[in-house]
A and B are shown apart, each in its own frame.
Chain A
Amino acid sequence: MRKVITGNSASAYGAKVSRAEVIAAYPITPQTSIVEKIADFVANKEMDAKFIKVESEHSAMAACISASMAGARTYTATSSHGLLLMHEMLIWASGSRAPVVMSNVNRANGPPWSVWADQHDTMAQRDTGWMQFYCESNQEVLDTIIQAYRVGEQRDIMTPSIIIEDAFVLSHTAEPVDIPDIGVVDKFLPPFDPPSKVIPGEPYGYGSLVMPDLYMDFRYKIAESMDLARDRLRQVDRDFQKHFGRSYGGLVEFYECEGADAVILTAGTAASTAKDVVDKMRREGKKVGVARMRVFRPFPYEEVRKLAKMAGAIGVLDRSYCFGYAGPIACEVMGALYNISDRPPIRSYIAGLGGRDITPEVLERLFDEILAFKGKGSGEEVKWVDLKGLEGL
């Protein structure tokens, strides 16, 4: 069924066609219409699920973890400060090996208060042991939820996922989305069948104390699963193509990157705008390209190294900032390239914080800058783009 829907609606449909069985959510700001739509589905009996209203995002995640450990497919949604409040429970989810799937609307963190697009909320969860997917379209938002369940619930993976949409650019913007038939999804996504389930009346110890002789080994097993997931995600995206006729380039989507003099590497919807700019500049004879980092965790270091061989110079555009050095994606990209020879020069660009538009004009200027430092070294390593003083108001 094809409908014109927002990214939030696409998220709700993603949970519905994936047959999520338990949804726990805190309904107040910064919550979005995602869980409102799911509450409608459940109330109208269009979705056979338990909707648990809780008193905070911390509790929402705790409820999802418990339900997941009891063998239910679980889903929740949040945004910015709600995600930050969940932080402790995010680590508990990955440690419990509870493959919860959550949607997050990327919004800026306050103060100053904001509700607009900014990736600082999810980037701050980098080390929680969750897989992170940055989407470019409402269709991808829906499809990635299905993909995340399929990979996350595999018994040697058992890892939770965050599916991310830029605030307003996707969350509140309607575009045509194909909502797959639930029977078709059933053939792609088997029921959740964890190796161990909580059984009432049989008390076991869940996540209880371990001594230093075992703790590290449990953490290593999470690391191992994350590494396995890298290739599993590439494979599932290919299978998705065969099953649904759509795919998203695996972990990193390359757009006109082969032999490009300048490439912008970014995550989220800025990549869409950048592709249009690439088309325009290519017509003018400038060899530019875009690499869209779709999966940030597990980190796609092989794709990043491949890009380094394809591109003359790279600008990494982050919609967030690690205070004290550079953009979080840029830090990781530079780290992944340190041990290879013939690295292209790289500059970290910080743009679009708190919903400031990343316009085609801004991106064209960045491409010209990157073209100019190709073969020379980036000089200024970190650059904040489009800053405005009072004269800009």
Chain B
Amino acid sequence: MTTRKAAHKDLPRMPITTIPSTKVVTGFWRTFRPTLDESKCIKCRICWKFCPDVSISMTDDSFPAFDYEHCKGCGICANECPRKAIIMVMEE
């Protein structure tokens, strides 16, 4: 939370920030983190497709990688995974 006490005159008229949401870290909201059991994963991309926060990245041959700076721990990926390869683990 910003501590700047701005007079409204200093604010831009349009509510625009030059900092895109990719630079704003929100992963600390998470209670459970998704982890991958590579032995079960078949790289089907279903988790990648369902992630509502674009926090799973995959290249052509790679396993899914979780972006823990933005993942909120919703668990949709684990729920959708057909091989139960994603396990939600309580954050410490």
B22 contacts A203, CB within 8 Å?
yes
The listed residue (B1, B16, B19, B22) touching A196 by CB distance below 8 A is B16
A204 contacts B18, CB within 8 Å?
yes
- How many chain A residues touch B (CB < 8 A): the figure is 24
Complex: A204 Cα to B21 Cα, angstroms: 8
A191 to chain B, nearest CB (A): 18
Stretch from A169-177, A208-216, A297-305 contacting the other chain: A208-216
Asked, given contacts A213-B5, A217-B6, whether A225 binds B13 with beta carbons under 8 Å apart, the answer is yes
A221 contacts B8, CB within 8 Å?
yes
* Chain A residue, CB-CB nearest to B22: A203
Residues of chain A contacted by B21 (CB below 8 angstroms): 205, 208
Give A194-230 as 1s and 0s: 1 = Cβ < 8 Å from B's Cβ atoms: 1110000001111110110110011011000100000
Residues of chain A contacted by B22 (CB below 8 angstroms): 203
- How many chain B residues touch A (CB < 8 A): the figure is 20
A195 contacts B13, CB within 8 Å?
yes
Complex: A210 Cα to B21 Cα, angstroms: 13
B8 contacts A220, CB within 8 Å?
yes
* Chain B binding surface SS class: loop
Tell which of A96, A158, A220, A221 has the most Cβ of chain B within 10 Å.
Answer: A221
The listed residue (A97, A204, A213, A221) touching B20 by CB distance below 8 A is A204
B2 contacts A205, CB within 8 Å?
no
Complex: A220 Cα to B13 Cα, angstroms: 10
B17 contacts A156, CB within 8 Å?
no
Complex: A211 Cα to B11 Cα, angstroms: 14
B2 contacts A211, CB within 8 Å?
yes
Complex: A195 Cα to B14 Cα, angstroms: 9
Residues of chain B contacted by A352 (CB below 8 angstroms): none
Chain A residues numbered 130-170 whose CB sits less than 8 Å from any CB in chain B? 155-156, 158
* Chain A residue, CB-CB nearest to B4: A213
Asked, given contacts A208-B21, A213-B1, A217-B6, whether A156 binds B13 with beta carbons under 8 Å apart, the answer is yes
* Chain A residue, CB-CB nearest to B19: A205
A221 contacts B11, CB within 8 Å?
yes
B17 contacts A196, CB within 8 Å?
no
A204 contacts B16, CB within 8 Å?
yes
Complex: A208 Cα to B1 Cα, angstroms: 13
Q: Give how many A-B residue pairs fall within 8 Å (CB-CB).
A: 61
B6 contacts A96, CB within 8 Å?
no
A329 to chain B, nearest CB (A): 29
Residues of chain A contacted by B16 (CB below 8 angstroms): 196, 204-207
A218 contacts B11, CB within 8 Å?
yes
A151 to chain B, nearest CB (A): 15
Residues of chain A contacted by B15 (CB below 8 angstroms): 95-97, 206-208, 210, 218
B71 to chain A, nearest CB (A): 18
Complex: A156 Cα to B39 Cα, angstroms: 60
A97 contacts B13, CB within 8 Å?
yes
Complex: A97 Cα to B11 Cα, angstroms: 13
B20 contacts A205, CB within 8 Å?
yes
Asked, given contacts A205-B20, A205-B21, A208-B21, whether A214 binds B11 with beta carbons under 8 Å apart, the answer is yes
Give B22-66 as 1s and 0s: 1 = Cβ < 8 Å from A's Cβ atoms: 101000000000000000000000000000000000000000000
Residues of chain A contacted by B13 (CB below 8 angstroms): 97, 155-156, 158, 195, 221, 225
A203 contacts B14, CB within 8 Å?
no
B14 contacts A97, CB within 8 Å?
yes
Complex: A206 Cα to B13 Cα, angstroms: 12
A217 contacts B11, CB within 8 Å?
yes
Complex: A95 Cα to B7 Cα, angstroms: 18
Residues of chain A contacted by B14 (CB below 8 angstroms): 96-97, 158, 194-196
A203 to chain B, nearest CB (A): 4
A199 to chain B, nearest CB (A): 11
Q: List 26 A-B contacts (CB under 8 A).
A: A95-B15, A96-B14, A96-B15, A97-B13, A158-B13, A194-B14, A195-B12, A195-B13, A196-B12, A203-B20, A204-B20, A205-B17, A206-B15, A206-B16, A207-B16, A208-B15, A213-B2, A213-B5, A214-B2, A214-B11, A217-B7, A217-B11, A218-B8, A218-B15, A221-B8, A225-B13
| Additional A-B contacts beyond A196-B12, A207-B16, A210-B15 (17; CB < 8 A) | A96-B15, A156-B13, A195-B14, A196-B16, A204-B16, A204-B19, A206-B16, A213-B2, A213-B6, A214-B2, A214-B11, A217-B6, A217-B11, A220-B8, A221-B8, A221-B11, A221-B13
